[in-house]
Amino acid sequence: MSKAKTLVLRAPGTNCDMEAAFAFEKAGADVSMVHIGELIRREKKLADYRIMVLPGGFTYGDDLGSGKVIANEIVTKLGDDVKLFVENGGLIIGICNGFQILVKSGLLPDPSHLNKIQKTTLTNNDSGKFECRWVNLKVNPESNCIFTKGIAKMYLPVAHGEGKFVADAETLKAVDVAVYYADANDTPTMSYPDNPNGSLNCIAGICDSSGRIFGLMPHPERYVTGSQHPRWTDESFSEQGNGFKIFENAVDWVKRL
């Protein structure tokens, strides 16, 4: 049985690293918080881990656009390490800013595009403002995504200013959509505020063809226990939050190897 050694990548401006680490530890992973500088200086090795987490936040202040600076660092300074990590069967999850990093580095929707071409992007919300709210999500049962197996729907928070998923028509047809923004009836929707940013095809998260690289704008790490629900004091909720199974699925997958 493999040990689910998990690396939570940190950089200046990361602010959801502790929540992501807590979620993976709760799921049974062996978690290390690693600054990107430690990987660049080879003080830590990506190859020593089975799961890499790109958490939410505002890396480098999003000064050149959300996730762009750290995406460039990954491509130019860690590209070979990341490519080998993917080829060796590693799992990657990017949440919010992490999703932005995955698409802007080219790792999603196809990791073979790393350092070659960016096929999709996440851009300014249609509302023209930062969206901080809870949303309904419908999981695509046809997706290859390892992280979402056994999940039908979720209720999770979003917190972003650049979350609108866009791509050309050909890419939109081919992309593996793992999670959709949905209305109260669990129907994918383009209507605001259920779709908080105007993402094309109601896309809230995608994965690569292997199902091992997953990016999503909503924050599953912010709802792994029932008391994190906004109405937990007024209503009865299970001890486990909607987002927890995403982390549990990843850890279980690694442990079965």
By annotation, the residues acting in catalysis are: 96, 219, 221
Residue where the block lists tokens 């704008």? 217
Q: Give 97's contacts (C-beta < 8 A, 6+ positions apart).
A: 14, 16, 54, 55, 56, 57, 58, 59, 62, 66, 67, 160
Residue type, position 33, single letter: M
In sequence order, which residues have a C-beta less than 8 Å from that of residue 234 and are 6 or more positions away?
A: none
CB-CB contact of 158 with 95 (8 Å): no
Cis peptide, bond prior to residue 109, ω within 30 of zero = yes
Q: Which of 104, 93, 86 is nearest to 19 (CA)?
A: 93
Q: Distance (Å, rounded) from C-alpha 147 to C-alpha 128? A: 31
Are the C-beta atoms of residues 190 and 164 closer than 8 Å to each other?
no
